[in-house]
Structure 1
Amino acid sequence: MNEYKDASKESFNDDFCSYLEHHLTRAFANAEDELVQKVWCDGVLMPFFENQTSKKSVNDTKRIVTKAWIGQDGQGEYELVIKFEKYSLRKYARGSSLQDCVPSERTLDWINIDLARRTIEIQLT
């Protein structure tokens, strides 16, 4: 059995995607915009290109691009850009959980969602 684990898989994994899915739904419910209040997230996918989750790629680009299912029925396909700052980059490099890098669901200051273009950007701390 291989004792080595890729640290990036420890940070950005199915558990984090599930956490982010539920956290986004709660944040949308707190939005001032009534249209955003009506949407919810039904899933965050792992990136299609595994190389973009490497520690080097995330450190260089400070982002991961993937897809999320968002909308009033939770089935609209959105491009999701997850941006990293110093704290989240450090945790990612160590293979630590990113859950505490996701800002409060009480505000949408860390989320930029465009319902027409089906894009969402989030900023981790």
Structure 2
Amino acid sequence: MSDELERKDPSQTGKKPLPLPGMAGIALYMLALSVVIGFGVVGHHYPALLLIISGLTACASFGLLRQQRWGWALSLAATFLLMVYQFYILARFHQPPAGFMGALNLILFLYLVRPEVMERLK
């Protein structure tokens, strides 16, 4: 009997499927980004206004883990805006680490717009 329940579609058993590994990784990246921004504000390296960004990235992280559409949208916006900002830093100030981070955010953005990821959202 328990084997039949495990094989059934998760929507029939009432259980929600786990997030994809990439979604969980992006959520952890967003959470780490939130913590880094928070410590940067506390250490007076960033302006206090960035605490709003830190809170939004933390919300995006938890929303993406819960497979909510708003969490996906916040994560998508954050990766896109970070990508644009990092590529601007690369073009304007010629800093190679910014190019690496911009490329990483581009990969995360392209992963988030995949149909398999969007199917998991409710």
- TM > 0.5: no
Q: Which structure carries more relative contact order (alpha carbon 8 Å, separation 6+)?
A: 1
Quick check: which has more Rg, 1 or 2? Answer: 2
What's the TM-score once normalised by structure 1's chain length?
0.33
Identify, as 1 or 2, the structure richer in strand: 1
TM-score by length of 2: 0.33
